[in-house]
């Protein structure tokens, strides 16, 4: 299984927390028709299980620049109370083994950067120690979009949001959070790219000194079928019109460039280069 990629003076590594079927294709992409699904079935073998549920990979990307170890997103985490059965009170060690495979411990992470604040992207931000949620990456600065944080904290005041309570607030309380604007950059290797629509303040992160050698998408796209048809929204995209626009703009921006596009949920190998396919796009995994 391909887990490691090299680009210019950086390496990027997939850290897998869980692979599991999610929703049925029609439920996940409400505008999808049985006919369109059948027309595309021949190239979707890795994406669908036997009951036509989309299989998702829940993974983080660990980017090693010449200066920092940067973790983009932190998956589901363990012991979190969540509504989906495969997310709920999970206790596997896949994520920690993924770090250890690279000779790293959580203390070696310099930055954790979150694309948005959903439960499958902030989970390992914290872990349960003596009944308390404490930041997992003890030496890290945690980077969050300010707009996403404003939205989440306002929502949390109406009805408490479990991922915000157990995976974000403990980091803020320890003074380890940095709330950043759209023009955020870290040195000359890391830049933020606003990609709103799935959530209000959703962002992607771009890496590379002279150009975007790689980009971590977050949830601006969930499954490969949305590359061929960028107008197919995920049922839970908060602003469907904006999500469509962001998805197409993003794919067009990187289409036929060498940039490695690292998706959060595509089946393995999950990261490739964007190529044109008719009116849409496809992923080229030849790297
Ligand atoms: Zn997600």
Mean pLDDT by 10 residues, the chain (287 residues): 95 98 97 97 94 98 98 98 97 98 98 98 98 98 98 95 98 98 97 98 97 98 98 96 98 98 97 98 92
Task: Please report, for the chain, the start and end positions of each structural domain, with discontinuous segments joined by +.
Answer: 4-15+59-284
Q: How far is the CA of 174 from the centre of ligand 1 (A)?
A: 25
Cα 214 to middle of ligand 1, angstroms: 19
- First CA to last CA distance, the chain: 14
* Encoded tokens for 207: 């890496």
Ligand 1 centroid to Cα of residue 212, in Å, is 22
Q: How far is the CA of 219 from the centre of ligand 1 (A)?
A: 5
DSSP code string of 120-183: HHHGGGEEEETTEEEESSTT-EEEEEHHHHHHHHHHHHHS--HHHHHHTHHHHHTT-EEEE-TT
Cβ burial of 53 (10 Å; 0-12, 13-18, 19+) is middle
CA 220 to ligand 1 centroid distance, Å: 9
* Rounded distance from Cα 207 to ligand 1 centre (Å): 20
CA of residue 218 to ligand 1 center, whole Å: 7
176 Cα–ligand 1 center, Å: 23
Query: What number of H helices and E strands is found in the chain?
Result: 9, 16
Instruction: Write b or e for each residue in 75-102: b if 16 or more Cβ atoms lie within 10 A of its Cβ, otherwise e.
Output: bbbbebebeeeebeebeeeebbebbeeb
pTM (2 d.p.): 0.97
Around ion ligand 1, residues with a beta carbon closer than 5 Å are 120, 219
Q: What is the CATH number of domain 4-15+59-284?
A: 3.60.15.10
Whole-angstrom distance, CA of residue 203 vs CA of residue 251: 15
In whole angstroms, give the CA distance from residue 21 to residue 223: 12
Q: Encode pLDDT of 129-167 as tens digits.
A: 999 999 999 999 999 999 999 999 999 999 999 999 999
Measured in Å, residue 116 CA sits from the centre of ligand 1 at 9
CA of 100 to the centre of ligand 1 (A): 24
How far away, in angstroms, is 147 Cα from ligand 1 center? 18
H or E stretch covering 37? helix 34-40
Residue 19 C-alpha to ligand 1 middle, in angstroms? 12
Q: Residue 157 Cα, ligand 1 centroid: separation in angstroms?
A: 23
Q: How far is the CA of 277 from the centre of ligand 1 (A)?
A: 25
- In the numeric block, the tokens 């028709």 are attached to 33
Distance CA 167, CA 176 (A): 12
Gap from CA of 117 to ligand 1 centroid (Å): 9
Tokens (6 digits) for 154: 């306002």
Is the CA virtual torsion 161, 261, 271, 23 positive or negative? positive
Q: How far is the CA of 121 from the centre of ligand 1 (A)?
A: 6
Distance from residue 35's CA to the centre of ligand 1 (Å) = 27
- Residue 1: the pLDDT is 84
Distance 56 CA to ligand 1 centre (A): 9
**What is the Å distance from ligand 1's center to 232 Cα?**
16
Q: How far is the CA of 57 from the centre of ligand 1 (A)?
A: 9
Rounded-to-5 percentages of helix, strand, coil across the chain? 25, 30, 45
Q: How far is the CA of 75 from the centre of ligand 1 (A)?
A: 8
């Amino acid at each position: 299984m391909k887990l490691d990629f090299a680009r210019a003076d950086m390496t990027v590594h997939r850290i897998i927390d869980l692979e599991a079927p999610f929703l049925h294709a029609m439920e996940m992409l409400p505008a999808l028709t049985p006919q369109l699904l059948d027309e595309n079935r021949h190239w979707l073998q890795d994406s669908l299980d036997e009951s036509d549920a989309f299989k998702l990979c829940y993974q983080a990307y660990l980017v090693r620049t010449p200066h920092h170890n940067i973790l983009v997103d932190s998956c589901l985490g363990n012991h979190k109370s969540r509504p989906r059965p495969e997310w709920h009170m999970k206790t596997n060690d896949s994520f920690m083994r993924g770090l250890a495979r690279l000779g790293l411990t959580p203390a070696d992470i310099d930055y954790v950067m979150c694309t948005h604040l959903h439960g499958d992207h902030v989970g390992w931000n914290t872990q349960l120690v003596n009944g308390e949620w404490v930041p997992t990456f003890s030496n890290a600065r945690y980077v969050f979009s300010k707009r996403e944080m404003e939205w989440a904290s306002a929502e949390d005041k109406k009805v408490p949001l479990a991922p915000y309570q157990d995976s974000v607030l403990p980091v803020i309380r320890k003074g380890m959070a940095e709330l950043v604007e759209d023009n955020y950059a870290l040195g000359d290797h890391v830049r933020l790219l606003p990609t709103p629509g799935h959530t209000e303040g959703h962002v992607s992160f771009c890496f590379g000194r002279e150009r975007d050698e790689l980009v971590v998408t977050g949830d601006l796209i969930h499954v490969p079928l949305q590359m061929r048809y960028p107008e197919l929204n995920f049922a839970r995209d908060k602003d469907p019109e904006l999500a469509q626009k962001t998805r197409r703009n993003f794919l067009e921006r990187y289409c036929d460039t060498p940039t490695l596009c690292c998706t959060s949920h595509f089946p393995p190998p999950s990261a490739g280069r964007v190529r044109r396919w008719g009116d849409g796009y496809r992923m080229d995994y030849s790297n």
